[in-house]
Amino acid sequence: MVNYSIDGAALSAQVARLAGARVCVVGDVMIDEYLVGDAQRISPEAPVPVISVSEDRHLVGGAGNVAKNIRTLGGVPRLVSVCGNGARSALLRRVLRDEGVDAEFVEIPGRPTTLKTRVIARQQQMLRIDREETSPIGGQHLADLLRLVDAASADCSVVIVSDYGKGVVTREFMDGLETLWAQRGTRPAVLVDPKTPNFHLYRNVFMPTPNAKETSEGAHLPTGTREEILAAGRAIFDTLHCRHLLTTLGPKGMALFEAADKVWHIPTTARSVFDVTGAGDTVIATVALALAAGVDLLESCVLANYAAGIVVGQVGAASVLPDELREAIATLPVPHVDRWV
């Protein structure tokens, strides 16, 4: 079994290369709204608490959070998605602008811009309200979307497909990407954050990044043990014919299938875990950005694993600054990366 030893200084030097690297991100974008307040009394109208809201925060979620993670790391994300044409789409654009994310949308009249509202009182989530429409994007809207992807990805060697199952990613969309690359004569590395029901759509991509549950569902096999993860990964190679596969394993870190028969395990570096929300977004954003910057695949995953270890220690869907990444590399115990096969 061949192991790989991390050279902290060399890895740290790679962080500097992330600055200015470009990644096109396409997928489902949403607004995460947090209404935070106090619950002092029961409503006279119904047996429910009345929340007096003192704070109304808006964060960008889904593919938008992936783009935000790239921006925070110093990269240049080019985000492409769909939204509605009402006031919420203006809010979405404003939130993205404030994050420094360059975004292009196909505005679809009458389609709601996806909004997930959480009502929180006394640190407790009381209610979540979703406004969304998940019908597949087709026809002229799909043609417009692909045109935007073509423009946004023209100078990108890496493209992320962030599939949250809200209608962007369909058979027609994935076929449309193939046609784009064929016309262009160059094929960017396409990384996919998968949604289980769409697994069959990701054939021939560069690298899907499923978590353990998605790996299990995509392979129709269990992923409880190392042997099971290896078997499930092999099954995914057989069906998708992907180039590589990155399976994130929550507290167990990640398994990088460089090939079906060449698998690395990278244990987590997280010291404290507060909130794992968005860790998957951080992983795909960091790997993609590092690859775009010319970092090799295994080192890119090691960087992503450090970045994920940082965000799980923070509250909410967080993102990582280059200095935080360098500090983690310099101060945390070096993860023991070993070959599983």
CA–CA separation, 134 vs 228, rounded Å?
33
Shortest distance, position 197 Cβ to ligand ATP, whole Å: 15
Q: Is 248 in the site for ligand ATP (CB under 6 A)?
A: yes
CA–CA separation, 263 vs 334, rounded Å?
19
Q: Is 302 in the site for ligand ATP (CB under 6 A)?
A: no
User: Which residue, 285 or 325, is less far from Mg ion as judged by CB?
Assistant: 285
Please state whether beta strands 115-121 and 29-42 pair in parallel, antiparallel, or not at all (unpaired). Answer: parallel
Question: Catalytic residue at 98?
Answer: no
Please state whether beta strands 29-42 and 49-62 pair in parallel, antiparallel, or not at all (unpaired). Answer: antiparallel
Find the binding residues for ligand ATP in span 250-269 (CB under 6 A): 250-251, 253-254, 268
Find the binding residues for Mg ion in span 205-224 (CB under 5 A): 211
Using CB under 5 A, which of the segments 218-226, 276-284, 298-306, 325-333 binds Mg ion? 276-284
CA–CA separation, 220 vs 218, rounded Å?
6
* Residue tagged 């509250």 (tokens): 315
The β-bridge partners of 331 are: none
User: Which residue, 27 or 280, is less far from Mg ion as judged by CB?
Assistant: 280
Q: CB–CB of 156/79 below 8 Å?
A: no
How many CA atoms, within 13 angstroms, populate the side-chain half-sphere of residue 174?
Answer: 20
Using CB under 5 A, which of the segments 111-119, 275-283, 306-314, 322-330 binds Mg ion? 275-283
Nearest to 71, CA basis, from 25, 116, 34:
25
Shortest distance, position 179 Cβ to ligand ATP, whole Å: 29
Shortest distance, position 209 Cβ to Mg ion, whole Å: 8
Task: Indicate which residue of 281, 296, 323, 338 is catalytic.
Answer: 281
Binding site for ligand ATP (CB under 6 A): 211, 248-251, 253-254, 268, 270, 273, 276-281, 283, 305, 308-309, 312
Which are the catalytic amino acids?
281
